[in-house]
Amino acid sequence: MSDYQKLAFVGDVGSGKSTIIRTLSEIEVVDTDKRATVDIGKEFTTIGIDYGRINFNDSMALGLYGVPGQKRYSLLWEHVNKSLWGLTLLVKFSGAPNTVDLSECLRFFDPVKTGTPFVLGLTHVDEVSNKNVSAVADILKSFLLDHELPGVVIPVNCLDRKSSMMIPYFINSMHNAKAI
């Protein structure tokens, strides 16, 4: 590998950050999962940075970094936000996404200012009707446009490698479009 790049996954509790990194990584994942001390809808939660790695193509490896999406983790955000190849904001499917935390996260990472290719991954969609997924995706696209970002929302099943690989492939296509 001659080139190493960083792809960050950021999002709220339960959005799928640890899961997508486990699904994509070709090495044993370094995670900071600990047993939750309060009811968050799952037994374990990430308290720091998750890390995995894939050989994306013959000349590039991707470091996969997962960080919580709440502002109290901004120290971790600072560490991960340096020289990003791509940024993915994961949002768990629900009727009403937490736009306050999403906005904080987008303001900090500021993919418009940094020129970092960005995509929003809509997770937990595998048991939801396409009509409902489309409706929430439209809300999120509008939210992204309010932040001057292209309204790119990709439904993703974080447990499925093929589905999860859509994110780095899409970000790579954004890099290729810039090069033209």
For the stretch 120-161, pLDDT in tens is: 999 999 878 888 889 889 989 999 999 998 878 999 999 999
Please count the structural domains in the chain: 1
Task: State the CATH number of the domain containing residue 129.
Answer: 3.40.50.300
Exposed (0-12), middle (13-18) or buried (19+): which is 99, by Cβ within 10 Å? middle
Half-sphere exposure of 180 toward its Cβ, with a 13 Å CA cutoff? 6
Half-sphere exposure of 160 toward its Cβ, with a 13 Å CA cutoff? 11
Closest CA to 156 of 97, 109, 89: 89
pLDDT tens sequence for the chain (180 residues):
469 999 999 988 888 999 999 999 999 998 766 666 665 666 666 667 899 999 998 889 999 999 876 777 777 778 888 889 999 999 998 766 778 888 888 988 999 999 999 999 999 998 788 888 898 899 899 999 999 988 789 999 999 999 999 999 999 999 988 776
Domain interval for residue 131: 3-179
| Residues 109 and 28: beta-carbon distance below 8 Å | no
